[in-house]
Structure 1
Amino acid sequence: MTVRNWLTLAVLVVDAVVLAVLELLFLPLRLDGYVLPYALGGVPVPASAIVAALTTPWLVSVAGKLSPKLLVAAAPLLAWIIVVGVFGMFGPGGDLVLIADWRSLLLFACGALPSAVVLGKVLATTLTPPR
């Protein structure tokens, strides 16, 4: 890999870290009239899960284009999982950022599962010889 590819990979990993932190901070978002308008009795809005489902697989696919190696392609996903786990359990000041309801599971599922599928696709297409 060239220096440019290493710098691009570093930017992708930093993006994954920043996105994981922001997704965790916006996880308790509700339609309660504080940040979003009041509607439907303050129903939770899983916007973080939607953002995770769109951005994390894209970061993995871009990293997979840099190098066919497993650790290079999986670096954004691994960084995202570590940050969600560590920052979610031991957040700023020791606060628990992961809330104890279905939105935490949805965030993890929407971020990790599509990214794992994309990682499998990247590895399958780069490791399989063309016919």
Structure 2
Amino acid sequence: MTAASIDRVRGADQARGPAWSVLGAVLVLDGLLSLALEVLYLPTYVGSTPVPISAGVAAVVNVALIAGMGVVVTRPAALSLPLVAWLLGFLICSTAGPGGDVMLTDDWTSPLLLACGLVPAGFYLFRRAFPARP
């Protein structure tokens, strides 16, 4: 590499610097915000039948967050940051609070939310990290 090409590479990194890191941080916070709304709407009922529509929303939103993070970074570890934040928030919501109340209960909707939030996003992350070669 010549000195001119090194300067061009440094200039490109500096142009993307602060604005892109802010966008990445916003996407990670969006992962936590989406989890809060999904946990809030998880115990939705139609009549006497539970309808966990937020589990389907979790599948779509987490894939969209990883796809959005793909605009900011290219490394798979950095791509997974919104999903890691979502999982840490899920673990916090599944533990008992100071008063003994639990946000996620012991019924079948909580594992469904976990599976729908992790499996499609994990599969998409795997396909981004290891693209198929002909």
Runs of 4+ in 1 over 2 A off after TM superposition: 90-94
Q: Is 1:99 equivalent to 2:105 in the alignment?
A: yes
Q: 1:47 to 1:72 in 2, by over 3 A?
A: same
What is the root-mean-square deviation in Å for CA atoms of aligned residues?
A: 2.0
Structure 2 alignment gaps of length 5 or more: 1-15
Counterpart of 1:2 in 2: which secondary structure?
Answer: helix
Q: CA, structure 1 residues 66+92, in 2 after alignment: closer, same or farther (shift >3 Å)?
A: farther
Equivalent residues in 2 for 1:85-124 (5 A)?
A: 85-91=91-97, 93-124=99-130
For the pair shown, the structure with the greater C-alpha radius of gyration is: 2
Number of matched pairs: 119
Gap regions ≥5 residues in structure 1: 32-38
- The 5 Å alignment of 1:1-131 reads 2-31=17-46, 39=47, 42-91=48-97, 93-125=99-131
Q: Identity of aligned pairs, percent?
A: 34
TM-score (structure 2 length as normaliser): 0.80
* CA distances 1:19-51 after superposition (whole Å, capped 9, x unpaired): 1111112111112xxxxxxx3xx1001111011
Using the alignment, how far apart are the partners of 1:14 and 1:110 within structure 2? 19
Q: CA deviation at 1:100?
A: 0.9
With normalisation by structure 1, the TM-score equals: 0.81
Change in Cα spacing, 1:17 to 1:91, as seen in structure 2 (3 Å) is: farther
